[in-house]
């Protein structure tokens, strides 16, 4: 039997040879990795330099993932294609020309906001969401042109709906779950999920405990059944996994994610003052090696073999195929 083609639509691990080896052992064909939370352009370039060194050092485990073809080749060779993404538009600073530069350097996903207001749109933690800004509309057009995917995982509802409408190419919510299942600020209401599905966009289901019903105690069965119920309204072709896995990260990293440089005070985000660190992962999803184990649960929840293969990686691959190149 052919090895299944597995793609994770978002991770932010504390990258190391150990993790690259675990990706390899799990048979991950591609992982969309966050290379920026709050970094500006020059800092993001330094992060890309780190990845260039890793590509050079571990060519048997990882390779750059800039096209769907890179992912197919990685899969055939037993390597993991690494797709770069930004959780914030900070790397383009105030300069629309940096959209193409970042694409040239390998970026393929960019969130328009990370929780807060950005120059482009409103994050899901702001009290008011005024939708896409003037610059936001321009940048969406430029991202469409070059093939940088608009990701609205951390954006407010109005901004997300406006991005779906303004974008001439399908967008993604790489890592979130439906709000009906677990009403976290980061999970998405039905109107967003429907608009996403109607326009050919992608939803990556998150395994970050704060996005799960029951948190770390969520069962694999409940998670898989939530996906099955989501498929009833969205269909299956637009569904994938975006685990939001923060494997091996120390707790100080979650402060960087939440606080960046925008506050001098503690911000607990989805955590709390008495639990400020990373929440424990569910026992059945602690790292890359647990990824293949999602497939049997999807089958048990009612998906057939082809649908399961799609959710486990095939749907992301098809989305990469139509999203990463210049606009036709």
Structure tokens at 151: 């990701």
- Per CB under 8 A, the segment of 13-21, 96-104, 130-138, 236-244 that binds a copy of itself is 96-104
Interface with a copy of itself: number of residues (CB under 8 A): 17
**77 lies in the site for a copy of itself, by CB under 8 A:** no
Instruction: Give the residue, chosen from 3, 14, 46, 327, that forms a contact with a copy of itself under the rule CB under 8 A.
Output: 46
Question: Is residue 251 close enough to count as binding a copy of itself by CB under 8 A?
Answer: no
* Of 310, 323, 321, residue with least CA distance to 70: 321
Residue with smaller CB distance to a copy of itself, 146 or 318: 146
Interaction residues for a copy of itself, span 162-201 (CB under 8 A)? none
* Nearest residue (CB) to a copy of itself, 83 versus 197: 83
Work out how close the CB of 143 gets to a copy of itself at its nearest, in angstroms, rounded to a whole number. 14
State whether residue 137 is helix, strand or coil.
Answer: helix
Q: How many CB atoms lie within 10 A of CB 258?
A: 21
Per CB under 8 A, 104 contacts a copy of itself: yes
> Considering only residues 53, 57, 168, 261, which one is a binding residue for a copy of itself as defined by CB under 8 A?
53
* Residue 135 interacts with a copy of itself (CB under 8 A): yes or no: no
Q: Which long-range contacts (CB under 8 A, 24 or more apart) does 285-288 make?
A: 285/207, 285/220, 285/243, 285/245, 286/247, 287/19, 287/22, 287/245, 287/247, 288/8, 288/11, 288/13, 288/19, 288/22, 288/23, 288/25, 288/26, 288/28, 288/31, 288/245, 288/247
Could you give the CA distance from residue 96 to residue 187 in angstroms, rounded to a whole number? 29
One of 101, 185, 253, 318 touching a copy of itself (CB under 8 A)? 101
Residue with the two structure tokens 């393929």? 108
Residues contributing to the site for a copy of itself (CB under 8 A):
41-42, 45-46, 48-50, 52-53, 95, 97-98, 100-101, 104-106
């Amino acid at each position: 039997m052919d090895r299944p083609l597995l793609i994770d639509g978002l991770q932010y691990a504390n990258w190391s040879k150990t993790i690259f080896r675990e990706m390899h052992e799990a048979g991950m064909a591609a992982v969309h990795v966050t290379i920026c939370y709050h970094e500006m352009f020059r800092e993001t370039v330094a992060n890309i330099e780190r990845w260039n060194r890793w590509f050079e050092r571990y060519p048997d485990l990882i390779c750059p993932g800039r096209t769907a073809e890179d992912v197919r080749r990685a899969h055939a060779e037993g390597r993991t294609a690494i797709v770069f993404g930004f959780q914030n538009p900070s790397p383009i600073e105030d300069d629309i020309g940096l959209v193409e530069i970042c694409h040239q350097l390998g970026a393929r996903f960019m969130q328009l906001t990370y929780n807060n207001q950005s120059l482009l749109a409103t994050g899901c933690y702001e009290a008011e969401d005024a939708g896409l800004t003037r610059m936001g509309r321009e940048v969406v057009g430029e991202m469409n042109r070059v093939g940088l995917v608009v990701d609205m995982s951390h954006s407010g509802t109005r901004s997300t709906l406006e991005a779906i409408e303004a974008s001439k190419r399908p967008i993604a919510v790489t890592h979130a779950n439906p709000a009906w299942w677990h009403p976290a600020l980061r999970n998405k209401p039905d109107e967003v999920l429907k608009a996403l599905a109607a326009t050919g966009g992608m939803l990556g289901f998150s395994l970050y405990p704060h996005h799960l019903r029951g948190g770390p105690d969520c069962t694999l069965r409940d998670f898989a059944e939530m996906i099955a119920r989501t498929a009833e309204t969205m269909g299956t072709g637009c569904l994938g996994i975006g685990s939001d896995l923060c494997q091996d990260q120390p707790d100080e990293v979650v402060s960087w994610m939440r606080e960046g440089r925008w506050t001098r005070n503690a911000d607990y985000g989805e955590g709390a003052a008495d639990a400020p660190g990373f929440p424990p992962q569910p026992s059945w999803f602690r790292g890359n090696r647990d990824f293949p184990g999602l497939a049997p649960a999807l089958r048990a929840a009612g998906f057939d073999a082809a649908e399961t293969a799609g959710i486990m990686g095939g749907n992301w691959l098809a989305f990469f195929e139509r999203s990463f190149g210049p606009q036709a």
